[in-house]
């Protein structure tokens, strides 16, 4: 005789995982960009019939880059949007089903995995590759949008080359800002480092490097409030010692404006099941794309707080597809 039965809520009937999805696929890739599209190319060539959802920004961060000169195979350079369109076409040529949609929920509690998208489509999958990228943090001033691709950048390694022998500014006071400023100092005539406080948050080693670099000028207690220029960035408007009796408006002439106040990995949807570091980057087993959930893999900037380059993202997308194929093969 059964004395106790498992509790079931009367408000919400218990659903079995099977049958709750509108469609089942072998490999589901969430996110586009170099990581997602490369994963799709490899998965499709392995006859895994991948379905790829592009996310909110098809092509990822690279679509905001006007010129890409550091990706091998493009001796004349190429624009970010053009490159991503080529990646997409190559993935589709091998049979990838590319769809527009944003993941809004994920259930990795059992198999198959279930992901819900913003049109309420629910897809079940035997393996999932997360390639949702990371979003650069911006100050929120209108000029950042106005001059996107015309002097405003969130990646010195990507775009610094275009500002050789010119004057630029870097916003931020942490290690990332210090690294970006010293990198640009090797290319540019002068680098202004716009720091909101009267100290740097960067490590002592990075602080020393910044302060010893002759063509870096740190603007202490300054905040950027606007940019100006007719055909691109020609200068920035700053407020010095905001909110104090010494407050004043300062203008500097620059050709490039680099944001270095961090990135936010697009991992929130998966955090209930997928382990992340304190900043939100998905943790992977070193040397692989494997997460803490067997059958779920991560590639690109969503799991890379260090490099954030198109070529490294593409490489990790390849890893994810191969890891997924081996997982499915048993």
DSSP 185-220: HTTSSEEEEE-SSSS--S-HHHHHHHHT-TTEEEET
- 19 pLDDT band, cuts 50/70/90, is very low
Are both 236 and 249 inside the same structural domain?
A: yes
Are both 197 and 302 inside the same structural domain?
A: no
Instruction: Please confirm, yes or no, whether 159 is among the known catalytic residues.
Output: yes
Are both 225 and 270 inside the same structural domain?
A: no
* Tally of domains in the chain: 2
Q: C-alpha distances in angstroms, 243 versus 14, 171, 200, 221, 236?
A: 56, 19, 20, 11, 19
Among 234, 259, 284, the domain-final residue is 259
Are both 283 and 311 inside the same structural domain?
A: yes
Are both 71 and 128 inside the same structural domain?
A: yes
From the list 69, 97, 119, 158, the catalytic residue is 158
From the list 69, 105, 155, 255, the catalytic residue is 155
Q: What is the pLDDT of residues 56-91, one digit of tens each?
A: 888 887 877 768 888 999 999 998 899 999 999 999
Instruction: Please confirm, yes or no, whether 226 is among the known catalytic residues.
Output: no
Q: In this structure, are residues 126 and 256 in contact, taking their beta carbons and an 8 Å threshold? A: no
Q: How many helices (H) and strands (E) does the chain have?
A: 7, 17
Are both 224 and 153 inside the same structural domain?
A: yes
Q: Is residue 286 part of a domain?
A: yes
From the list 69, 97, 118, 159, the catalytic residue is 159
List the CATH number of the domain containing 234.
Answer: 3.50.50.60
- State which residues form the domain around 312: 23-135+263-329
Distance CA 52, CA 55 (A): 9
Q: Is residue 170 part of a domain?
A: yes
> How wide is the angle at C-alpha 136 spanned by C-alphas 36 and 312, nearest 5°?
40
Instruction: Please confirm, yes or no, whether 155 is among the known catalytic residues.
Output: yes
- 263-292: average pLDDT: 97
pTM value > 0.85: no
Are both 58 and 157 inside the same structural domain?
A: no
**Residue 8 reports pLDDT greater than 70:** no
Are both 41 and 56 inside the same structural domain?
A: yes
């Amino acid at each position: 005789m059964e004395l106790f039965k498992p509790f079931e809520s009367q408000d919400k009937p218990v659903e079995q995982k099977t049958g709750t999805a509108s469609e089942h696929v072998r490999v589901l890739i969430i996110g586009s960009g170099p990581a997602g599209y490369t994963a799709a190319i490899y998965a499709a060539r392995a006859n895994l019939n991948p379905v790829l959802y592009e996310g909110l920004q098809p092509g990822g961060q690279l679509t905001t880059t006007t010129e890409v000169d550091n990706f091998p195979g493009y001796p004349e350079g190429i624009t970010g949007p053009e490159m991503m369109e080529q990646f997409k076409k190559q993935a589709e040529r091998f049979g990838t089903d590319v769809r527009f949609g944003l993941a809004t929920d994920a259930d990795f509690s059992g198999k198959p995995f279930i992901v819900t998208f913003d049109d309420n489509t629910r897809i079940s999958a035997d393996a999932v590759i997360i390639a949702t990228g990371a979003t650069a943090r911006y100050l929120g001033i209108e000029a950042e949008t106005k001059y996107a691709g015309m002097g405003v950048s969130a990646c010195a390694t990507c775009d610094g080359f275009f500002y050789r022998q010119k004057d630029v500014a870097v916003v931020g006071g942490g290690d990332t800002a210090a690294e970006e400023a010293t990198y640009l100092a090797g290319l540019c005539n002068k680098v202004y480092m716009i720091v909101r406080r009267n100290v740097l948050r960067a490590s002592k080693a990075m602080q020393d490097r910044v302060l010893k670099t002759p063509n870096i000028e740190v603007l202490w207690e300054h905040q950027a409030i606007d940019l100006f220029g007719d055909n691109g960035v020609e200068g920035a408007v700053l407020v010095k010692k905001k909110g104090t009796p010494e407050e004043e408006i300062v203008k500097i002439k620059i050709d490039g404006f680099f944001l270095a106040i961090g990135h936010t990995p697009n991992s929130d949807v998966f955090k209930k099941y997928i382990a992340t570091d304190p900043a939100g980057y998905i943790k992977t087993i070193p040397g692989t794309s494997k997460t803490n959930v067997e059958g779920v893999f991560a590639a690109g900037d969503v799991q890379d707080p260090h490099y954030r380059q198109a070529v490294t993202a593409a490489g990790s997308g390849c890893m994810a597809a191969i890891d997924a194929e081996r997982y499915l093969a048993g």
